[in-house]
């Protein structure tokens, strides 16, 4: 009985998704479907990198300097083992791209999650508490918003490496990146959540919750939060593209992922040194993947914003 009930439940959930406005607008937009497909393929390829990659770029024993700087195999001058050629250390470019996109996407997702949690929390507190707390949080947000995120990320990155003395760069790079990017993107979440919280907090259900003596923390978490989450999803999708670009930029500038654990940005930086001697494949392949990934995520974000916006229907 219970399984029957559950399949029914699952079916009706599927039915609900298929009948929803969002699914309809998704089916109607070919560009969005292509973008979703491309993004899905890249995400899966990144996730399954250890299974898909023909070589393991982190296994130093398998690398040979004899194989370094080989062109892609179809040019006739390369090695059939390395479809997209090799970099200066003899790493297979295709495998490094697969592992690199894994790092890029992981940093992107983690920093978006960090920024969202921080921004939602501060926005909720500012909107619900009001008064001095609100004023302080929002003024900080205003000041921060007047600076480009990349500048803030660079400053935080520099400050952290100054405080840690730059030791263990290889182990801390991931965390430092997530913190720098996360701290530079929280403002948008905070502003959006705050303005919806301001509307919600005077509604009757919140007053009722307050009346029965619930702790403000519980009211915010259980009653207000679910009702202000809608726009957050859109911001998060658009910010994912921005976070991936920011990570790639920081790595390209040499303050992100080290060359032993290259992200796409690091690979582009390494390849940039060889562009003039004709080794274009080290830069252009990761560059192309980065561009396609960001474009796909951007298109998805744009579509989601329009699909969830009742004014445009």
Looking at 10-18, 49-57, 80-88, 246-254, which segment touches another protein (CB under 8 A)?
246-254
**Rounded least distance, CB 149 to another protein, Å:** 10
Which of 146, 167, 202, 311: binder of another protein (CB under 8 A)?
146
- Rule CB under 8 A: say whether 155 interacts with another protein: yes
Measured CA to CA in angstroms, residue 54 lies from 50, 62, 102, 282 at distances of 9, 12, 15, 17
Looking at 5-13, 160-168, 187-195, 215-223, which segment touches another protein (CB under 8 A)?
160-168
Q: What angle do CA 103, 169, 185 make, to 5 degrees?
A: 55
**Rounded least distance, CB 130 to another protein, Å:** 21
Which of 190, 241, 300, 304: binder of another protein (CB under 8 A)?
241
Residue position matching structure tokens 């690091």: 266
**Rounded least distance, CB 97 to another protein, Å:** 14
Which of 290, 300, 304, 307: binder of another protein (CB under 8 A)?
290
- Rule CB under 8 A: say whether 37 interacts with another protein: no
- Rule CB under 8 A: say whether 161 interacts with another protein: yes
Sequential DSSP letters for 147-176? S-HHHHHHHHHHHHHHHTTTTTHHHHHHHH
- Rule CB under 8 A: say whether 283 interacts with another protein: yes
Residues 290, 107: Cα–Cα separation, whole Å: 14
Which is nearest to 243 in space by CA: 115, 102, 97? Answer: 115
**Rounded least distance, CB 211 to another protein, Å:** 39
Sequential DSSP letters for 93-121? HHHHHHHHHHHHHHHHHHHHHHHHHHHHH
Sequential DSSP letters for 5-55? HHHHHHHHHHHHHHHSHHHHHHHH-HHHHHHHHHHHHHHHHHHTHHHH-SS
What's the chain's Rg over C-alpha atoms? 23
- Rule CB under 8 A: say whether 181 interacts with another protein: no
Residues 125-144 that bind another protein (CB under 8 A): 139-140, 143
Looking at 77-85, 89-97, 145-153, 187-195, which segment touches another protein (CB under 8 A)?
145-153
- Rule CB under 8 A: say whether 245 interacts with another protein: yes
**Rounded least distance, CB 291 to another protein, Å:** 5
- Rule CB under 8 A: say whether 301 interacts with another protein: no
Q: Are 144 and 120 in contact (CB under 8 A)?
A: no
Residues 244, 105: Cα–Cα separation, whole Å: 7
Nearer to another protein, 52 or 284 (CB): 284
Q: Which residues of 252-285 are buried (b: 16+ CB within 10 A; e: fewer)?
A: beebbbebebbbbbbbbbbbeebeeeebbbbbeb
**Rounded least distance, CB 76 to another protein, Å:** 20
**Residues in contact with another protein by the rule CB under 8 A:** 139-140, 143, 146-148, 150-151, 154-155, 157-159, 161-163, 166, 241, 245, 248-249, 252-255, 268, 272, 275-276, 278, 280, 283-284, 287, 290-291, 294-295, 298-299
């Amino acid at each position: 009985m219970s399984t029957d009930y559950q399949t029914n439940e699952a079916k009706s959930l599927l039915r609900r998704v298929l009948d929803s406005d969002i699914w309809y607008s998704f089916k109607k937009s070919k560009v969005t479907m292509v973008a979703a497909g491309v993004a899905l393929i890249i995400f899966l390829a990144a996730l399954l990198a250890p299974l898909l990659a023909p070589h393991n770029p982190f296994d130093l024993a398998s690398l040979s300097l004899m194989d370094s700087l080989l062109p892609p195999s179809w040019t006739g001058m390369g090695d059939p083992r390395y479809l997209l050629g090799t970099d200066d250390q003899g790493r297979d470019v295709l495998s490094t791209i697969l592992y690199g996109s894994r790092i890029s996407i992981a940093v992107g997702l983690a920093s978006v999650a960090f920024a969202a949690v921080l921004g939602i929390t501060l926005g909720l507190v500012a909107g619900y508490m009001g008064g001095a707390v609100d004023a302080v949080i929002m003024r900080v947000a205003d000041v921060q918003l007047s600076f480009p995120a990349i500048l803030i990320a660079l400053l935080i990155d520099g400050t952290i490496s100054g405080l840690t003395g730059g030791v263990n760069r290889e182990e801390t790079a991931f965390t430092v990146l997530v913190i720098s990017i996360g701290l530079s993107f929280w403002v948008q979440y905070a502003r959006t959540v705050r303005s919806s919280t301001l509307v919600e907090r005077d509604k009757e259900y919140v007053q009722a919750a307050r009346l029965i003596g619930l702790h403000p923390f519980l009211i915010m978490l259980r009653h207000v939060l679910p009702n202000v989450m809608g726009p957050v999803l859109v911001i998060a999708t658009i910010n994912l593209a921005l976070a991936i670009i920011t990570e790639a930029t920081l790595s390209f500038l040499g303050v992100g992922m080290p060359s032993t654990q290259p992200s796409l940005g690091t690979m582009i930086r390494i390849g940039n040194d060889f562009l003039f001697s004709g080794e274009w494949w080290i830069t252009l392949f990761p560059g192309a993947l980065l561009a396609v990934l960001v474009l796909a995520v951007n298109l998805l974000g744009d579509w989601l914003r329009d699909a969830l916006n009742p004014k445009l229907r």
